[in-house]
Each structure stands twice: as C-alpha cells, then as structure tokens.
Structure 1
C-alpha cells in the first residue's frame, strides 16, 4: 500500500529515504509522482468535476518559472532574475485503501511558492502566503476510500503580484510532498523534541519530549518508549518512560518527557558529524499507536562574550557562507545531490558554516548539513512589515498576520537538527527599530523561539546599526547574539564598548580587512560571506545572476575561492592567479593564456597560499621566494609575460607541501568531458554534473573563445538542463546546446531507467568528447 524506495547511496539520501519509510503505526507515502499542471488561472479547478485531461503531466518538485524566457520587462524584474511569474494550478488524482478509513490522513508540503491554496475533493483546506514554509493539512473526513473511488488534491500557487522578492523565488510546488496516515492516537506534527542538556565524554543526558494527541472518541492510556541507536545503528540505550501510561481524554493532548543516559557518547562536530537516532513509540499494552524516528546529535554549543562560539567545550571559528535556495539552472526545485556537491566544494575550501539566507530551506538540506558537519544559522525572513526596494509585493503584506506562525513552524520543524546552532529572525530589516513597535516585533519572535526551542540563541542581521542607533537605543542589548552585516570594524567597536555582548558577523565581504576582523578578535563568533554560490536574481540587466560568490552557479571556482581557501583551509594551499589585462585594475583569472597574447606584456601575478614560503618559477627559472605575510595578504610578483609554464612551490619548514602550475594553451582542439559522479541512482534527488572543457591538443584548458557545445545522450538518462558560469546568459536552461564560458559549460544528467547512459559533446572544429554514467536502482 505504501511505496518505499531502496536506499543506494546512504551518505547522500538517508534523509530523503527516511521520509519514505514506514514507522510502526505510521505510514508515509511519497506524493511527488503523477501531478497535472496548468500555467495560468483556471476557474473551477478546485472542484472535483473539473476537466483536467489536457493538463501537463509532471512530477514534483516542480518550478515552472525556471523554464520560462528571460525578459527585461518581466514584472519579477531585477530581484526575480527577469523570469516569468503568475498563477499555476496543480491537481493530483489518487485512491485510498479502505483499510485506512478509520485512520487520520494528512498531506505535508515542504514548500509551495507562493500564496498557496489547497483543496481536497472541493473542500478548501487553507492558505499559506509564505512560499518557503513547510505546512500540513488534515484530510480526515474529506476522503473517499476503496478501489475506484478517486480523490483529488488541487493546489493553486499565486505569484502574480510582482516584484515580490529581491532574489529568485521560483514558482509552484517546488519541494517534496508526502501523505501521512496515522492512528487517531498519534504523535503531534513535529511533536518530538530531542535535546542533550548535559554532555561529557563519559556520558550524555538525552532529553526526549513527546506530545501525544488523542482524536478518538474514548479516553486512552498511552506510554512512551524510547530506543536510542548510535551512529553505527547499534542500540545505545533501550528504555521506557512514563511507565504507568498517561490518560488522555478525547480531543486532548499530553506532553511526556524523559531523560536517558548514553554512555561514552560520540559527539557531533564538523570533524565527526556523528548522528544518533531516537525511535519513539507511543503504545498501550501490545498495541503501538504511533512511532517516529528522529535523528539527532549529541553536542554542546554556546555563544560567549569572550571566546565567540564554543562547540563541545572548544572554540570553533565559524567560517560560514550565505546561501540562497536556488540550484542555478534547476531553479528552486533542487535535487539533493546538487546541494551535496556544492557543500562538499565549499567544505574543501574550509567552509564550516551555512546561513540560510533569507528564509527556511528544504528540510533535506538541513539533514545534509547534519551529515556533512556544517553549523547552521537558520533564518526566517528578509522583511517584516516594511518592504524593500524591488520587493514591494512580498512578505511584508503578510508578516503581521503570519510572522509568528511561520516562525514557530520553522523552529518546530528544524529544532532536532544538531547542525543548527542559532536562529536569525530577520535580514537588514527596514522596520523602525528605534520605537516600541520595533522592539516588540523582535522580542515577540525571540520569546516565541525561546518557548519553542530553549536550547539555541536568537540573532538578526542588523542593517547599518550605527546609523539606526540600535547599538545605543537598547535594541542590540536585548539580542541573545548581536549580528551585523558588513562594516566589520563597527562590530569590533561595539564589542569594545560592550564587552559582555556576544557578537557574530551575519553577512560579510571578501576583503582582507573583513577577514582580519575575525581572525584577530577571538570574541567574534564567526562570519558568513556573501555568498557561497552565485544565485539567480538580484542582478542588473543584462546580468540575471548575482555573481559575488566564491563559486559560480555551476560549481566553478573563482580567484575569490582560492584566496579564501588560503585563509580558511587547514591543508597546505597554493594557487596562482594573474591580472587578466595589462591594466592594474583588471580582475584576477587563474590561467596563463591571455586573450590578446600579443598585447599582454607585463604579468601581475599573485599567489594565494598559507605556506611558510612560496617560490615562483617561470619556464623553469626562479623568480624568487617570499615568506608568508603576517596579515595573510597574497604574495605578488610582476614580470614580463612569457608563454609556457608558471609554477608556484609552497614549503613548510623547508619541505615542499603543495604546488600549483598553469600553462599557456595552444589552439582549441577537442572537448574533454568529466563527470563528478559516474554512478547515480534512478531517483529524482540524484544527478550527475558533466563538465565540457575545451582543451588544446595537449589537454591544456583553453579559457578564451566562444564555442557552442551540443550535448546528446543515449541510454537510460536525460539531459535535464545545461548551463555555464556567464552572469548574463539568457539561453533557456533545458536547451541541449550551450555556449562555453571561460572554456567550460555543463550538462546535468538524471536517470530514466537502469543501465548505462552515454553522454556525447560535439562542437564545430573540435574533436568530440564522450563519457558514461551508470544508472542504478
């Protein structure tokens, strides 16, 4: 009756799969397949008898906006990346087993963009304006049961009022959906809360709080049993609390709490993100009413006024980045593998923290942060009641009615994630924070979070606090942790004036000055760079992508990422970059092939490195050795340009530990295909990135020129989208032909069946490239 998936890649898909497994007394069905979609408004589409046979057949997650045409005149404008907006309808026909007729049935959406209305068999279940929030509706009493008796879920997503955001939102049912069947006596939605109030190397106290709801017509006596599994799946503790049971009257609920001791716990940390599981069962005698499996981590996390952020008793400098929720060419409907790849690339640079700017993310993203060892600032809003430029049709219209509800739902959903160490309740809020109303908005949300999750502090990203006087008027004083965007030295000055304050950089630039404000002040808990990966929108035409990140939206590295790696990585780092043009103000590039080689006379070279000393060679001749500057600035050389090879050699204590080498490319000769993952599962959440690089006859990448690469696939796979790193690329993403940008472009591959998929790339005047991807169960 309930479909489950087979787990193939445990490290990637454990969170997504867990949502498809059944717990005793609870059945969870993935509800992503076989929806019908119509772009536009459709009068009467909420009714069961509506004719939808001509609608498009799709699966969700689905972002219809990303498949639209870029147009400078689209009402989404600069914020929405000039992509289309409007109204979209979704309908799904399904049957329910007659065995479920006496049970409770609910539907859970991880996110619908935006202003969603949902109906079941013509009955209006409710409306949620905020497109980033997860929500559920009870379908009980509105369903038909038995073979041949159809039910219809209808969803209307309204993104017509624009501009609604300063960055790309997507449109439609862009996150996962599931159907949940429980008994009348069941665990409340998001009703299990696991904390670790006491932790030491010898033992940890695990506190489990469970809310049980009785919707039956009779009083029940229910007891809660808890088993705790360690990271290997072995039973770390088996026990029971509330042994006598708890009487719950019809229509009432009860909250049951208990403590357990886990001996010799493995603590969660970025270096070892160990995850335990609490299996919580609600039973009466031999009957199990309901059960849930909740992953959690055992760790302590504290923000302090003198040491900054302390994890498990040790200072941890949060080296973070801000991330928006889109996946580049895939829009807002992002397979989990995309995030795993991006997070691994960031981790390789030395990043250990993520700020979810500026909204709740998909729940599986947080699962991934748990497993990969990132600390997270979980953020709710970009606006309160005052709107922002290019966002006049946004959430500010709904904050007064929905702000506290959406905040509570975010915290209830997310509070079991060990990766989350702090909540943020706003980004550069433009409401008046100098009067009682501004104080109240902040305090109401902070108090609500403390009531819902008393284990984590609250901050917000303050906007020009010296200008708004929030450092002086008492506003900052009531914050658990004072967060500020940019102007890093102002935050240092604020702490100097108020040494009892706990402080963090909530949004920061890439400059050396910004880095030193963190490096040289132990009390600053960390920084979150703007940004980790390029994102759609917030760009001035002809650009449609914001390009301030360490990585471009395809995952390609920039000189910024090389510099940051030299500051943040614990491994030896050496990277060569040069000024692109003769002009000193030109940007840095990481190649030795000038576009106009005949007029490129003087090369201005920088080496980003954390090594004790770096020696630079040009065509085998040493250009000298330079020690590591005390202020972490790059080591610079200027020399007449020569074709050939430039090489940097990094040494620690006189021993070579790392090198980097760039070569001058000859004429473009062929396409080199590489893939980030040669084996993928035939499920929605897995993809492979195939990169086409134009190289010369010797395999040296050719960064210049403009080639059109045609991607083709044979076998059980599909080319979902193609893309490049160009900020002004206006070509539709589903096209299989893509211009190269700095010599590269990508195709994202998904499986359609089991077997070998062969990807071929062709371009006029270049030798073809081919590569194989195995599609497995």
Structure 2
C-alpha cells in the first residue's frame, strides 16, 4: 500500500505543478489516463468525494476489466459477449487545480465508457450515457475546487449488468482514453470546426473552414489566424482576420484558403495536412486547435462504383469489431497498427466500423495508412436481435439523435471516411413510406452536420423485407446489402441509376467475382478482417470468420484473398488436414498422423499465369491461371519431405513457396514485430514463440505450454494463441501453443534501456530476445 500512496501523491503533485505553469495561454489538453482507483461491484456512496477508496486497485485507463475473465459458460453475456464477465465497475480519480486557473473553463472528455456510464464531479452528477461506444464530454467548471489545498474527485460508474446486451463482445469500464481540457471563456467550440476541400484537383484546392467560437465572457474583437501546414511542418498558406465576437453567444465563421499544387490524399499515397486555428486577443493567445485533414475528392457513381480523385477504385474492404483479441476492448494503437499492416498485405484498402463508433485514434490511423472507411452508428434501432435482446434497442428512441450527432461531429474531418452507415441488418419495419421515416430522420441528422458524404445502411434480406420493391431502397443515396450478392446485382440491373455496395460479404469465390466482374459494384466488406470475441457457441468463445485469427496468424481465407487482391505475385500452398480431402485447410506439410495420411488434397492460391508443383523435387505438373480465379488443385500421394509451388509470369519464375515436414519439437524461435518500443500506453510489440524441430521447421501440431518471462523494464500485457476454444486467461505469462505458435504482447515499463523476453517449454531449448526502449518517444 505504501507504493500505491506514493504513486498517488506524485501524480497529484505533478498535476498541480503542471496546471500552474501551462494554463497561461490558449487551450490546454492534459492526458487524464493515469492513476485511477478501480473496483468491481455496486458500491454505495462511491460518487461522494469523501468516500474512502484506499483499498481499491490503482490502474491506468484505458482499462477493460471484462477481458480479465474468467471465461464461464454461465456468464450472462453468453454467446454474444463471449462468456466473459459483466457487471458494475467504479472508477475514481482525485486531482488539484491551481487557484490561478479559476477563470478557465474545464471539461473532461471520454472517448468511450462501456456502458451506461454515470459521471460525478465532487458529488454532483454530470450525466448518463448508455451507449458505450460514443465519445462525450462534461463541463466541470461550476463544481471545481480551486487552490493548492483543495482537491477534486471525479467518479465514474459503468454498468453492463443487464445482459445479453450485445451480439458481440463489448468489454467493460473506461476502455478508451480520457482528457482534461482547459480553455478560456472565449474558445473554439468542442467539435465545432469542420474542414472540407470541395472538388480539389492536383493543380488547386480550396480548404474551407467553418468554425464555431463560443463566448461565455464579454464581447470583444479578436484576431483569427489560420495556417495550412504540410507534413514537413512548412506553412503553405496563412489567413488572418479581425472578428467581432458577441458575448454569451456562439459565433460561426467561414474562411477559405487556396492551396496550389496540393498533394491529394489517396489510398496509395495518403498525404495529410494540418490546419492550425488560433484566436488572439491583442497579442494574447486565447485558444488554439490543430486538425489533421486530407485533400481529396471521393464519390460513388451508379455505373462505375467508387472514385477517389477521379480514379476508379474497387473498395476491397473488411468489417472490424472494436476488440483487439487478447487485449479486449482497451486496444493500444500499436495493436491496430499491426493488424492494419497485415490487412494491407492482403490488399485490403477499406474498413467498415462494425457496428458502432470506434476510438478516434483508430480513424487517425486509417487516415495515415490510406484506408477508406465506412463509419457506422448502430447495430440495432428499436427491434431487438437474438443474443442481444437487451442492447441499444432499449435506448434508441431517447438517444439515437444525440449519439448520431456526436459521432458525425467528432469524425467528419477524417479524410479516410467516405461514407456513413446508420444501421446494420436492422429488424425494424422497413416498409415505405412509414418504415422509411426512421432511416430518413437519421440521414437528416447526418446531413445537418456533414453533407459531404453519402449515407447508407446494411440491408438485411431485402427480398424478404421488400425494400427493393416498396420504394425504400430507391430513396437511399447508396444501397448497401449484406450477403446475397445476386440480389444486389439483380436490383441494380433493374434500377441502373442506383449506387450499390456490398456492406458485408463472405470469403467465397462467387462473392469476389460479384465485385470483380460488375463495374457498378463500388466495393465489399468481408466478414471479417480479424477473428473477434463473442458471437460464438460454447466451447468456442471467438467468431472465427476473420481473414486472420486473434493472434494475427494467416488462415486459409487470407492466403486465398492474397491471391485475389494483392498487387504482387502470390503463391500459397494449402492442404486438407485429414486424409482424402477431409478436415480443414492448413498451410503446412506435417500431418497429425503420418501413418494414415496418404491422399493429400492440395490447393494452390496464386495470381500468377502458371503454377508448377513439386514434391521432393519431382514435378507434379503445371496449371494455368483459371479465368474465374479459382484455386489450382492437385491430388497428391503424400510423401514426407518438401512440397513446393513455383509461380511464373511470361515463363519466368516470379515467386515460390514451400513447406517441409517437421520432426519432433526441439526448440523455440522468438520473433518480434518490431525491435524498439516507446514507454507509452499505445506502443506495443508482438513477440511470437514458434516451436520448431532441430532444422527450424515449425511443428504445426505442437501444443506445448509456453511460459514467457520478462525483465522489469518491460511488461507482458497479454498472451494468446488464436485458438477459438481456448478458455485460459489472457492476462498471465503462459499459454499453450496452437498450431505450434503463441504470442506475447509487450509494452515498455521504463523510459530507457533494453527489455529481455524469454520463452520456455519443458524439455526444449529456451529462447530469448531483446527489445530497445526509445527514450526520445514517450
């Protein structure tokens, strides 16, 4: 307890000193993630500042307490929530604000609290937000105590007791970042600035800035300064104007800045700019904000699909839930970066945020990496869904407008977002015109706050609901449909003026061909990019329809998709795991039983003109590329050794892949996704432990227990193996290998030095690896 008290005291002293020195001019944003007190269960009086929380656990947010487990078939979250715990969690944080800052306005910003959050400051209730995915803020100013001898206590109650609340895993607690923001009485309104770049070209672009200035003080004349800055820090253009700001009102200002020869934001080259807006009273900086933008022109056309900067693209997308596998819903940005990099390898260029607002930094990453995004609001409106009967449908009528508004205001400046979706497989009455009113009222709210992007929804079995015939779909800007691609094709061919997109699609060949062969099909979003927690029947805890598993391992469908979507030459060998075409597709040449495996059904996925297959250096023949992109098939009499596929274009070898039969497990090999870490919450590296034989061949059937250990300069935040029926916890330092592999997700715990990680398997040679800590990045 002594250490806990020291941490708490240091935190308060730091905050006090920080507040005293930085709140002199302009807007100040303070990371509010550190040193919260946490406990589970209903606690009477925990919102009161005098409540004694010394026995509570001290932690940093983001924090998802549900992922800490344990798994239990009887947990009320059931199949939707992946059989992980639900309930009530309390968080408290105490801080001081210097008396010199009593003229400032203070607010607290939450990027997401799961779920049904209530927030208090010094015992005063600030508000409730049922929707756990939405970002929100509260004004703290009227209730704060100022002065070095006075403290303030913020308390948060998060309640997901009522279950089943979702068809997929939600997490629990303050699972996204928190900030404390201080501004002057005259300031840029929260989410009040919208920046657009209408109809840009490579020769010229107009950056249009609409900003709202809120004044809770006296009227005055202010100088508004706007700068457009490129990614090297160079100011390309600046604007200055004198503005009369009325007292106790919100003043809306419009400015335009012309940029010559802009670098356009594109999937292939996602160039970004920043727009700095500053407000001065005389020479005093009153407020400032920086917004990242991309200059681009995106549109959907009825005959040719999606266009970006006058170039026709197919959106090759995936759907992603908000969990990060072993880390649950509290996902470090480094986890998303690792995942998006692998999706890029397969040729993915689009993300659908299924089926809710995501963390804002996830959208920042999509901006930076060149993904186009379908930004989605809700999985349900008023009608319940199976395994999520007590979800957002209970709150839609009261909260849909506020939640929709907040998502659009928060997200509208991201260049990656090219379309909004306001519902997924909605079970409400969709008749026309009565059933259409719910769609229209949501579309109107979206358009009120952002009229630069089209709106769609993911229609569910439209030929059953009759939306293609009753006038509903005809009113949609872009018609989106889940699965049943032939219905969408038929609908477009009957209504060629409709713009259409596949909002959810499986991995099978004919669904890819529906996109490849129909010019009007703007894109599709595969279900899903990664395996996700929940929506699984016990003993399974994870839905395994992803291109990659929870741990980031390639699967049969990602290997095949690579051959369809990659721009590089690709060749991948898979075989059926059991004899004579039985079992599942695997990517190795090590059957579980060599004695009974003699007839191997082999597929090769490739975009090459010709593929030749070899077994132990003996050619098994060559096959040309099928016109329909189907795999090339061989029936192979199994022999222990090496199977190899060679891809050729124009008669020349351009790529190859081989698998060799593994012997007995002999040692562990450790690999890392990157070798340097910064000591901050969002930076991670993935260390993969692979069990191999004496020649270094992966032992695909090994399931040994792997024990990780780490020096105190680092920490293991999660372990995983991707196995969908694994019920072990993710928070420890050991897990069983699955298909011969397991991962540990590592963070730095110090600001400098090195981190040593070891992996140990009983009877095998131990392996260690070292990471460096980047002291220049924190």
Is contact 1:224–1:256 with CA below 8 Å preserved after alignment?
no
Residue pairs, 1:508-527, within 5 angstroms? 508-527=505-524
Instruction: Name the residue aligned to 1:554.
Output: 551
Instruction: Name the residue aligned to 1:758.
Output: 756
The 3-state SS of whatever aligns with 1:198 is coil
Q: 1:439 to 1:598 in 2, by over 3 A?
A: same
Q: 1:631 to 1:466 in 2, by over 3 A?
A: same
Instruction: Name the residue aligned to 1:11.
Output: none
Which of 695, 698, 703 pairs up with 1:698? 695
Question: What do you get for the CA RMSD once the two structures are aligned?
Answer: 1.5
Deviation at 1:582, TM superposition (A): 1.3
Question: 2:77 and 2:24 mapped to 1: Cα distance?
Answer: 43
Moved over 6 A (4+): none
Instruction: Name the residue aligned to 1:83.
Output: 84
Is contact 1:531–1:550 with CA below 8 Å preserved after alignment?
yes
Instruction: Name the residue aligned to 2:98.
Output: 97
Residue pairs, 1:199-210, within 5 angstroms? 199-210=200-211
Is contact 1:90–1:155 with CA below 8 Å preserved after alignment?
yes
The 3-state SS of whatever aligns with 1:575 is strand
Which of 315, 320, 323 pairs up with 2:320? 323
Instruction: Name the residue aligned to 2:366.
Output: 369
Which of 330, 353, 357 pairs up with 1:356? 353
Question: 2:69 and 2:214 mapped to 1: Cα distance?
Answer: 45
Deviation at 1:437, TM superposition (A): 4.3
Question: 2:482 and 2:134 mapped to 1: Cα distance?
Answer: 24
Instruction: Name the residue aligned to 2:643.
Output: 646
Is contact 1:551–1:558 with CA below 8 Å preserved after alignment?
yes
The 3-state SS of whatever aligns with 1:197 is coil
Residue pairs, 1:584-603, within 5 angstroms? 584-603=581-600
> What do the CA deviations read for 1:178-202 (whole angstroms, capped 9, x no partner)?
0000000000000111100131111
Which of 381, 406, 409 pairs up with 1:409? 406
Q: 1:404 to 1:583 in 2, by over 3 A?
A: farther
Instruction: Name the residue aligned to 1:773.
Output: 771
The 3-state SS of whatever aligns with 1:598 is coil
1:68 matched to 2:51? The reply is no
Is contact 1:24–1:291 with CA below 8 Å preserved after alignment?
no
Deviation at 1:764, TM superposition (A): 1.3
- Name structure 2 gaps, 5 residues minimum: 1-9, 15-21
1:172 matched to 2:173? The reply is yes
Question: 1:312 and 1:24 mapped to 2: Cα distance?
Answer: 40
1:261 matched to 2:258? The reply is yes
Deviation at 1:750, TM superposition (A): 1.1
Residue pairs, 1:304-453, within 5 angstroms? 304-453=301-450
Instruction: Name the residue aligned to 2:275.
Output: 278
Deviation at 1:22, TM superposition (A): 9.4
Question: 2:606 and 2:11 mapped to 1: Cα distance?
Answer: 54
Deviates more, 1:90-99 or 1:533-542: 90-99
The 3-state SS of whatever aligns with 1:111 is coil
Deviation at 1:99, TM superposition (A): 2.0
Instruction: Name the residue aligned to 1:10.
Output: none
Question: 2:494 and 2:620 mapped to 1: Cα distance?
Answer: 47
1:564 matched to 2:561? The reply is yes
Instruction: Name the residue aligned to 1:229.
Output: 229
Question: 2:84 and 2:338 mapped to 1: Cα distance?
Answer: 26
Instruction: Name the residue aligned to 1:495.
Output: 492
Question: 2:92 and 2:434 mapped to 1: Cα distance?
Answer: 42
Question: 1:237 and 1:715 mapped to 2: Cα distance?
Answer: 48
Deviation at 1:628, TM superposition (A): 0.7
Residue pairs, 1:566-715, within 5 angstroms? 566-715=563-712
Is contact 2:114–2:132 with CA below 8 Å preserved after alignment?
yes
The 3-state SS of whatever aligns with 2:441 is helix
Deviation at 1:776, TM superposition (A): 2.5
Question: 2:501 and 2:25 mapped to 1: Cα distance?
Answer: 43
Deviation at 1:23, TM superposition (A): 11
The 3-state SS of whatever aligns with 1:701 is coil
> What do the CA deviations read for 1:728-749 (whole angstroms, capped 9, x no partner)?
1100111212111000111111
Question: 2:758 and 2:434 mapped to 1: Cα distance?
Answer: 61
The 3-state SS of whatever aligns with 2:464 is helix
- Name structure 1 gaps, 5 residues minimum: 6-20
The 3-state SS of whatever aligns with 1:199 is coil
Which of 740, 745, 755 pairs up with 1:743? 740
Question: 1:627 and 1:97 mapped to 2: Cα distance?
Answer: 75
Instruction: Name the residue aligned to 1:42.
Output: 43
The 3-state SS of whatever aligns with 1:637 is strand
The 3-state SS of whatever aligns with 1:631 is coil
Question: 1:395 and 1:56 mapped to 2: Cα distance?
Answer: 30
> What do the CA deviations read for 1:38-96 (whole angstroms, capped 9, x no partner)?
10011111111111111110110000011021111100000000001000100000001
Is contact 2:238–2:257 with CA below 8 Å preserved after alignment?
no
Deviation at 1:319, TM superposition (A): 0.2
Instruction: Name the residue aligned to 1:150.
Output: 151
Q: 1:309 to 1:23 in 2, by over 3 A?
A: farther
The 3-state SS of whatever aligns with 1:164 is coil
Q: 1:437 to 1:33 in 2, by over 3 A?
A: farther
Deviation at 1:676, TM superposition (A): 0.6
Instruction: Name the residue aligned to 2:115.
Output: 114
Is contact 1:2–1:28 with CA below 8 Å preserved after alignment?
no
Instruction: Name the residue aligned to 1:722.
Output: 719
Question: 1:697 and 1:551 mapped to 2: Cα distance?
Answer: 28
Is contact 1:22–1:28 with CA below 8 Å preserved after alignment?
no
Instruction: Name the residue aligned to 1:159.
Output: 160
Deviation at 1:118, TM superposition (A): 0.3
- Return the TM-score normalized by structure 1: 0.96
Q: 1:140 to 1:689 in 2, by over 3 A?
A: same
Instruction: Name the residue aligned to 1:181.
Output: 182
Instruction: Name the residue aligned to 1:17.
Output: none
Instruction: Name the residue aligned to 1:26.
Output: 27
Is contact 2:275–2:292 with CA below 8 Å preserved after alignment?
yes
Deviation at 1:246, TM superposition (A): 2.7
Question: 1:419 and 1:540 mapped to 2: Cα distance?
Answer: 35
Question: 1:505 and 1:235 mapped to 2: Cα distance?
Answer: 41
Question: 1:264 and 1:288 mapped to 2: Cα distance?
Answer: 31
Question: 2:104 and 2:11 mapped to 1: Cα distance?
Answer: 15
Question: 1:277 and 1:671 mapped to 2: Cα distance?
Answer: 46
Deviation at 1:223, TM superposition (A): 3.9
Deviation at 1:390, TM superposition (A): 0.8
Question: 1:101 and 1:215 mapped to 2: Cα distance?
Answer: 14
Q: 1:22 to 1:550 in 2, by over 3 A?
A: farther
1:246 matched to 2:247? The reply is no
Is contact 2:224–2:242 with CA below 8 Å preserved after alignment?
no
Deviation at 1:585, TM superposition (A): 4.2
Deviation at 1:625, TM superposition (A): 1.0
